[in-house]
């Protein structure tokens, strides 16, 4: 679907309309001055009468208006001509000053500057040929997503209704140029200007703080470009159903993400390290899995974050007591474990049993209050495990100074979920499957990652075993020869060395294989999810493209004579070559 044609050059039309009066005045002054010089009589040096021709009059007024003053031509002027020249000098200079003033005023006019910026924005988007995403909302999450995607080589177009945020894009330290437009993303015309009809557009990310706006973006995206991936943030659970109905492919709830990460840190700490390594890339597999205590926990605040955290902690087998202002508890479904009071009041925390609690979660949206509650909790219960919700990234220095055991920025939670969907769509599916496993499974996987990847921040990527992306294995599989995972996981320049990567998932029409073994068979059309070092990713791409490299890997994996004879003739030829 292509975007509609916009009117060409609205800035030019606005400029001409604003300069209409100065231009008319300038033309009239020049016309009167030229005609006057052709009518005012003069005399030649011999005393004969003469009048200036039209060409000489136009030439003289042209340099006269710029105050250059080349002298009287072609003969010395009479007094009448000098009087007319004096009038012409002042009138043309005044006309020029008026015109230049109006021109500068128009160039500084906010409307003209906006039109000019929109024109540059549309041209930048129209020139994009590589895959790109449209980020609607350049808050904390939008800024992180934009930075990470540009570093991955994926183009980004930003739309935000806040002018300050849209302008920040131009000064942020991004690896590539990112077009940004200050406009409401709920306007379908804005999405069209942002390039949703461009064939290179792969996704729209509705990351605004307004669920209604995110719903409108999802609906507009589905109607304008049904093939484009739609990822939306929903801060309230009641909006999930509506987003699903309008066709949002992925719905991200920051409260659920916050609570899930906390629950995993308590029940499956190894899985949390894996999650952070593969999504936010703030950890490596070499990081130790931090033990978070179980037992009794306090939750301060009972908004959407507090309710969600309480539910997840209860599902994880924790004893939970909530401390919140009475108005926040008015519509609570049940009163058990709820203490009405100000979390900044020491008496309320004591009534909730902070002296016996092992941990406290502060979900209050106001960062200043959240920090104060955390300090009070440490004073009343030294050594208590503190988890704090951070709402604004600008307050990061304060949270670093307080140094809670866990500080979870809402924007980072959203950004991590978005990045795992965009970077490797299979990664989201894998992590959902991994959450069904226990800590022993997660710990075993973490040990494998440490052994193979070490302290390197891992990349995650997907490979589709088809003719376009993997021609070398595709040609072999087409002959009926059975390839294994091990055949792909060796270094192309030295098959004796394993790639620093681990296959996480094989997805096919007839099912899936979670953490496939080296002996697992691969089939045409399989989608393989891997994680590993950037070098391993590059080497695997080499193996998938080069039949000789793949043949060498097969020979090293299965060197038995009978196995070699069973290989396709083309593979045997590559081996002998």
DSSP-derived letter for residue 336 is: T
Q: What is the pLDDT of residue 570?
A: 53
> SS3 of 386, please?
strand
Q: What is the pLDDT of residue 271?
A: 86
Distance of CA 94 to the CA centre of its chain: 52
> What is the chain's alpha carbon radius of gyration, rounded to the nearest angstrom?
35
For residue 202, the cross-strand partners are: none
Q: Are 418 and 145 in contact (CB under 8 A)?
A: yes
What tens digit of pLDDT does each residue of 385-430 get? 999 999 888 899 999 999 998 888 888 888 888 888 887 778 888 8
Reference 62, options 100, 88, 24; nearest CA is: 88
Name the token pair of 31: 């016309």
Alpha helix positions (H), 484-568: 534-545, 547-557, 561-565
Alpha-carbon gap, residue 223 to 215, rounded angstroms: 12
Placement of tokens 């060498």 in the chain:
552
For residue 522, the cross-strand partners are: 483
The reply to whether omega before 540 is within 30° of 0 (cis) is no
Q: What is the pLDDT of residue 401?
A: 93
CB atoms within 10 A of CB 101: 11
Helix (H) or strand (E) holding 319: strand 319-324
What tens digit of pLDDT does each residue of 528-569 get? 999 888 889 999 999 898 888 888 888 876 654 344 444 555
Q: Are 433 and 416 in contact (CB under 8 A)?
A: no
Name the token pair of 437: 């496993």
What angle separates helix 20-39 from helix 10-18, to the nearest 10 degrees?
Answer: 50
Q: What is the pLDDT of residue 1?
A: 40
Beta strands in 377-445 (DSSP E): 385-390, 406-409
Distance of CA 166 to the CA centre of its chain: 13
Count of helix runs (H) and strand runs (E) in the chain: 24, 20
Name the token pair of 73: 């031509």
Q: Are 37 and 64 in contact (CB under 8 A)?
A: no
Alpha-carbon gap, residue 507 to 529, rounded angstroms: 8
Name the token pair of 258: 């916050």
Q: What domains sit in the chain, N to C, each tagged with a CATH number? A: 10-108 (1.10.287.70), 131-252 (3.40.50.720), 293-404 (3.40.50.720), 458-576 (3.30.70.1450)
Alpha-carbon gap, residue 346 to 353, rounded angstroms: 11
Q: What is the pTM of this model?
A: 0.73
Placement of tokens 């136009």 in the chain:
58
Q: What is the pLDDT of residue 381?
A: 92
- 401: Cβ contacts below 8 Å, ≥ 6 apart: none
Alpha-carbon gap, residue 199 to 577, rounded angstroms: 43
CB atoms within 10 A of CB 217: 33
Alpha-carbon gap, residue 478 to 431, rounded angstroms: 32
Alpha-carbon gap, residue 390 to 397, rounded angstroms: 11
For residue 503, the cross-strand partners are: 530
Counting as low any pLDDT under 50, the low residues of the chain are 1-8, 560-566, 574-577
Q: What is the pLDDT of residue 481?
A: 82
Q: Quickly list DSSP for 161-191.
A: S-HHHHHHHHHS--SS---EEES-TTSHHHH
Placement of tokens 């990664």 in the chain:
427
> SS3 of 244, please?
helix
Alpha-carbon gap, residue 302 to 489, rounded angstroms: 49
């Amino acid at each position: 679907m292509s975007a509609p044609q916009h009117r060409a050059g609205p800035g030019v039309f606005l400029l001409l309309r604003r300069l209409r009066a100065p231009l008319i005045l300038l033309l009239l002054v020049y016309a009167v001055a030229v005609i006057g010089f052709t009518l005012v009589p003069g005399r030649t040096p011999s005393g004969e009468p003469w009048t200036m021709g039209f060409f000489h009059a136009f030439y003289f007024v042209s340099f006269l208006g710029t105050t250059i003053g080349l002298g009287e031509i072609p003969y010395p002027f009479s007094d009448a001509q000098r009087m007319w020249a004096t009038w012409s000098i002042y009138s043309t200079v005044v006309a020029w000053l008026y015109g230049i003033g109006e021109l500068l005023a128009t160039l500084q006019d906010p409307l003209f500057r906006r039109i000019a910026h929109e024109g540059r924005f549309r041209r930048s988007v129209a020139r994009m040929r590589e895959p790109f995403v449209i980020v609607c909302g350049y808050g904390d999450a939008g800024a992180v997503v934009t930075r990470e995607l540009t570093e991955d080589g994926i183009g980004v177009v930003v739309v935000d209704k806040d002018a300050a945020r849209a302008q920040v894009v131009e000064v942020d330290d991004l690896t590539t140029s990112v077009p940004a437009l200050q406009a409401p993303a709920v306007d379908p015309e804005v999405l069209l200007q942002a390039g949703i009809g461009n064939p290179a557009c792969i996704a729209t990310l509705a990351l605004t703080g307004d669920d209604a706006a995110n719903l409108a973006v999802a609906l507009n995206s589905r109607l304008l470009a049904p093939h484009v991936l739609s990822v939306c943030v929903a801060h309230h659970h009641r909006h999930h159903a509506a987003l699903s109905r309008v066709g949002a492919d992925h719905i991200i709830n920051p409260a659920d993400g916050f609570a899930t990460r906390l629950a995993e840190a308590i029940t499956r700490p190894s899985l949390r390290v894996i999650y952070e390594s593969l999504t936010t890339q703030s950890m490596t597999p070499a990081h130790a899995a931090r033990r978070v205590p179980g037992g009794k926990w306090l939750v301060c605040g009972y908004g959407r974050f507090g309710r969600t955290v309480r539910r997840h902690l209860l599902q994880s087998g924790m004893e939970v007591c909530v401390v919140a202002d009475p108005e926040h508890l008015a519509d609570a479904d049940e009163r058990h474990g709820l203490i009405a009071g100000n979390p900044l009041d020491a008496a309320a925390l004591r009534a909730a049993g902070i002296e016996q609690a092992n941990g406290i979660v502060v979900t209050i949206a106001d960062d200043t209050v959240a920090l104060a509650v955390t300090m009070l909790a440490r004073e009343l219960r030294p050594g208590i495990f503190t988890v704090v919700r951070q709402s604004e990234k600008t307050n990061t220095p304060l949270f670093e100074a307080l140094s809670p055991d866990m500080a979870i920025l809402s924007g980072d939670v959203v950004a991590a979920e978005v990045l795992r969907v965009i970077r490797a769509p299979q990664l989201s599916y894998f992590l959902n499957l991994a959450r069904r496993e226990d800590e022993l499974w997660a710990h075993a996987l973490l040990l494998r990652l440490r052994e193979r990847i070490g302290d390197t921040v891992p990349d995650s990527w997907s490979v589709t075993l088809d003719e376009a992306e993997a021609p070398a294995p595709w040609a072999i599989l087409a002959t009926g020869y059975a390839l294994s995972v091990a055949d792909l996981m060796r270094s192309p320049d030295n098959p004796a060395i394993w790639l620093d990567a681990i296959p996480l998932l094989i997805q096919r029409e007839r099912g899936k294989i979670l953490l496939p073994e080296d002996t697992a068979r691969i089939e045409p059309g399989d989608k393989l999810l891997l994680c590993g070092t950037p070098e391993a990713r590059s080497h695997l791409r080499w193996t998938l493209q080069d039949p000789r490299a793949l043949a060498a890997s097969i020979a090293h994996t299965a060197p038995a004579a009978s196995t070699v004879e069973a290989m396709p003739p083309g593979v045997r030829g590559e081996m002998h070559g």
